[in-house]
Chains A and B, each alone.
Chain A
Amino acid sequence: MTDAGFVMSAYAVIIGGLAVYTALLWRRLRAVRGRDDEAR
């Protein structure tokens, strides 16, 4: 593959970024819902 470094950097950041954002979103949702359950 030509320019493999650039191709892999692009895909790693975009696909990896999507995965990280999704995981953080789950964590934030769980944290807010957990605090609500504690309050009840």
Chain B
Amino acid sequence: MKTRILGFVALAAVMVVTAVALFVVPPDGNQGDAQRIMYPHVASAWLAYLSFGVTALAGIGWLWKRDLRLDAVAHAGAEIGVMFTAFAIWGGMMWGRPIWGVFWQWEDPRLTTTALLLALYVGYLLLRRLTDDPERRATRAAIVGIVAAIDIPIVHFSVEWWRGLHQTATIASPDRVLDPAAPMAFVGTLLGTLAAFTLTWLYLMIRRYQLARAEVAREEAVRLDRLMSARTAEVAR
């Protein structure tokens, strides 16, 4: 029931911030309306980091505690992270074309490391399909999830370390928390979008975790059933 309420609150919040971002907040003086794409683009990128960070931490937890619930959290984080990474890339492309003149540039370190991040976690999800043994699957996935997370700080700091098309960090960067030069309407809308998307992320994580647990329970039931049938056949012989 609480999860359902969270879902409704998240839905309402996303609707409100989308309406504000599209129709209420003024367009940027230099970039015009294309800058409106920044709100869901930055929120999606933040949630991709958060999701993959959760996957890595839950993977460490699995290797330490051997609790399959932690593997379910890691699985949920990876799937949802892949979705938000794809949204961040799509939003970036739609913003990039009118501002940079191109949808994509492989020479840009932020774009390329983000594409690599997406590929790494798609690989993580594919790897999970290779075995039915829940413990072996959890261990393999945990190792890949932890190693792939090394790319998260590389993606984030790539705009500071190397030169490219992409602008430097919008909010968090080593030398500032919030750009004091940004108009408050933009900052408020961005923070509102981050909050609404994070609520939605939390709702999806809970539901995806429930699905992962239900799938593992089902696999276990099927395995037990097969074992029982084999035993019965053995006794009958």
Contacts and interface: CB of A to CB of B under 8 A. Distances in A.
B33 A3 contact: yes
Interface in B37-52: 37, 40-41, 44
B206 to A, nearest CB: 10
Contact of B33 (A1, A14, A28, A35): A1
Contacts, number: 79
Residues of B contacting A: mostly: helix
Given A3-B34, A36-B217, A25 B204 contact: yes
B211 to A, nearest CB: 5
A15 B208 CA distance: 18
A26 B7 CA distance: 12
Nearest to B225: A39
B94 A7 contact: yes
Nearest to A33: B214
Contact of B34 (A7, A28, A36, A39): A7
B82 to A, nearest CB: 10
8 contacts: A2-B33, A3-B34, A6-B98, A7-B22, A14-B91, A17-B87, A18-B87, A21-B204
Interface of B: 7, 14, 18, 22, 27, 32-34, 36-37, 40-41, 44, 83, 86-87, 90-91, 94-95, 97-98, 200, 204, 207-208, 210-211, 214-215, 217-218, 221
